[in-house]
Amino acid sequence: MKVLLFGGAGYIGTHVALQFLDRNDTVGIFDNLSSGLRTNVHEKALFFEGDIRDKQRVVEVLKQGWDVVIHLAAYKAAGESMLKPIKYSENNITGSLNLITGCIETGVKHFILSSSAAVYGEPTYLPVDEKHPKNPTNYYGYTKLCIEENLKWYSELKGLAYVSLRYFNAAGYDEDGRMLGLENNPANLIPVVMEVACGIRPNLLVFGNDYDTTDGTGVRDYVHVTDLAKGHVLAADHLLAGKGSLIVNLGSEEGLSVQQILDTAREITKKPIDTQYVDRRAGDPAKLVASSKMANKTLGWKAEHSSVENIIKTTWRVYQANQKHLEH
């Protein structure tokens, strides 16, 4: 199979590329390296530097002929999307439409979208299944929903078959240590905890410990990035077998609180991880946990690497490996 990953040099993209390379598929990586790393691009992959906002460059690479395109090239910071909506619409909407229309114009028939639980907004019931109302509470979540809706139209009007994978909280690193790139200036909980453990961030600010949860801190569905990556391979096989379009959640179905993540990180890193309990962050739901029954039923997908120990252990190993240059 020939698979082209837009945003393939990023955190998720690199792990997805590894899964396809492990079974000797031909992998193309299209990335502008704005946050992705050239060092993440496996030597066996074909690299194309480019930006999804450059339609001409997108079409030029698509013309090389691909069985499936996977779109992982979106900006993903919910908070930033509320401050810089233009940055998000130009990349996440216009850029994504360049990929969809480019596929139609060059005859690529299968498309996989990296989507997000952010399309749901504040949960009205738990666990969240795919029928849950879609009321995104941030512009980032809206951009993902907007592209899902365009994919629905283009599948009906032009026969583009697609799978949209709604990730919950992606976390962890490759268990064989094949990915060592770190996110710069992360905002997500686990990388922030790791930076405090490494001593490059003074403390962890816990956004609220007065939620209606077991220990008062926010609960999320953390899913290991290798589980997510395997979901992309299953989705590609599903599309190439002509089984039609799908929208599915990818989550571990297990909720973990900030405090549980913190306690496990202290246990595994043996570091104190200084913490301050501060006010809630605007827009944060108390709890967000997936139902992934649909992914299991349609793709045979199951989270198998997503224990909190494995997530923290594999992440800590990468931060320790980077420790030397993190300190300078």
- Does residue 83 belong to the site contacting ligand WQD (CB under 6 A)? no
- Does residue 228 belong to the site contacting ligand WQD (CB under 6 A)? no
Task: Considering the candidates 75, 140, 162, 319, report the single residue annotated as catalytic.
Answer: 140
Output the CA torsion sign for 50, 31, 244, 64.
positive
For ligand WQD, which residue of 59, 126, 205, 273 counts as binding (CB under 6 A)? 205
- The site map against ligand WQD for 208-227 (x = CB under 6 A) is ----------x-x-------
* Least CB distance to ligand WQD at residue 240 (A): 26
- What span, in angstroms and rounded, lies between the C-alpha atoms of 146 and 264? 37
CB-closest chain residue to ligand WQD: 218
- What span, in angstroms and rounded, lies between the C-alpha atoms of 152 and 129? 19
- Identify the three-state secondary structure at position 141: helix
- Identify the three-state secondary structure at position 291: coil
The rounded Cα 78 to chain-centroid distance in angstroms is: 13
Query: Of 216, 287, 293, which is closest to residue 255 (Cα–Cα)?
Result: 287
For ligand WQD, which residue of 258, 265, 290, 299 counts as binding (CB under 6 A)? 258
Query: Of 128, 16, 4, 121, which is closest to residue 63 (Cα–Cα)?
Result: 4
For ligand WQD, which residue of 26, 106, 155, 188 counts as binding (CB under 6 A)? 188
- Does residue 82 belong to the site contacting ligand WQD (CB under 6 A)? no
C-alpha distances out from residue 115 to 25, 100, 144, 197, 316, Å: 23, 14, 6, 30, 26
140 in active site: yes
C-alpha distances out from residue 202 to 23, 33, 35, 205, Å: 42, 29, 24, 10
- Identify the three-state secondary structure at position 145: helix
∠ Cα 156 162 164 (to 5°): 120
- Does residue 281 belong to the site contacting ligand WQD (CB under 6 A)? yes
Which of 34-42, 104-112, 200-208, 306-314 is the region at the interface with ligand WQD (rule: CB under 6 A)?
200-208
For ligand WQD, which residue of 206, 234, 239, 299 counts as binding (CB under 6 A)? 206
| Ramachandran bin of 208, using left for φ above 0, alpha for ψ from -120 to 50, beta for the remaining angles | left
Which of 81-89, 146-154, 182-190, 239-247 is the region at the interface with ligand WQD (rule: CB under 6 A)?
182-190
Q: What φ, ψ does residue 29 adopt, rounded to 5°?
A: -120, 120
* Least CB distance to ligand WQD at residue 39 (A): 23
Query: Of 70, 188, 168, 191, which is closest to residue 118 (Cα–Cα)?
Result: 168
Q: Which of residues 59-78 bind ligand WQD (CB under 6 A)?
A: 76, 78
Q: Of the two residues 189 and 234, which places its CB atom closer to ligand WQD in the complex? A: 189
Q: Of the two residues 166 and 238, which places its CB atom closer to ligand WQD in the complex? A: 166
* Least CB distance to ligand WQD at residue 280 (A): 7
Q: Which of residues 110-139 bind ligand WQD (CB under 6 A)?
A: 116, 118
- Does residue 192 belong to the site contacting ligand WQD (CB under 6 A)? yes
Q: Of the two residues 206 and 234, which places its CB atom closer to ligand WQD in the complex? A: 206
Instruction: Give the interface with ligand WQD as residue ranges (CB under 6 A).
Output: 76, 78, 116, 118, 140, 167, 169, 187-189, 192, 205-207, 218, 220, 258, 281, 284
State the catalytic residues. Answer: 140
